[in-house]
Amino acid sequence: CCRSNSSRIGVVNEETFKEIYSQFFPQGDSTTYAHFLFNAFDTDHNGCVSFEDFVMGLSILLRGTVQEKLNWAFNLYDINKDGYVTKEEMLDIMKAIYDMMGKCTYPVVKEDAPRQHVETFFQKMDKNKDGVVTIDEFIESCQKDENIMRSMQLFENVI
């Protein structure tokens, strides 16, 4: 479809998406998070996000049920799309969010903050301690934990 900048109207490739997204977070580096976000919006994995893809994703995030939002979030965290979220995938997303927020965050974020954040989340979510989080574990944990639900709202703010 659009691995290179195509002239198709209403369609962006990943590079264009990153350029646009970076304008919203000038204080940090949004490249990695924009990559993950692009892949979540690119539901048919054809290397481009159409206006329709984008609006469908936004619609879920803004007007969807809690279940739909959590499904969308799980898909974002499941980087390799194997149906599970590993600690490494969660850490990659968390690091990307911290990078995007930049060094100007207050209070100042410690270097190991993303890892600590992930350790806490992952312990809560990995109910059967098998080293991966399933969609059911993810949704159940999120719905039961008001801190996680609050951070889901934080997650909405970075979309």
The token duo for 34 is 């924009």
φ, ψ dihedrals at 132, nearest 5°: -135, 155
Q: How far is CA 71 from CA 24, 74, 114, 154, in A?
A: 25, 5, 22, 16
CATH number for the domain that contains residue 126: 1.10.238.10
Has residue 6 been placed in a domain?
A: no
Question: How many CB atoms are closer than 10 A to CB 19?
Answer: 12
| Residue-wise pLDDT tens digits, 104-138 | 655 555 667 788 889 988 998 999 999 999 999 99
Cα distance between residue 27 and residue 4, in whole Å:
28
pTM over 0.75: yes
Has residue 75 been placed in a domain?
A: yes
Has residue 2 been placed in a domain?
A: no
- Containing structural domain, residue 148: 11-157
Has residue 3 been placed in a domain?
A: no
When divided into structural domains, the chain yields a total of: 1
Place 75 in a pLDDT band, splitting at 50, 70 and 90: very high
Please work out, in degrees rounded to the nearest 5, the angle formed at the alpha carbon of residue 18 by the alpha carbons of 112 and 68. 75
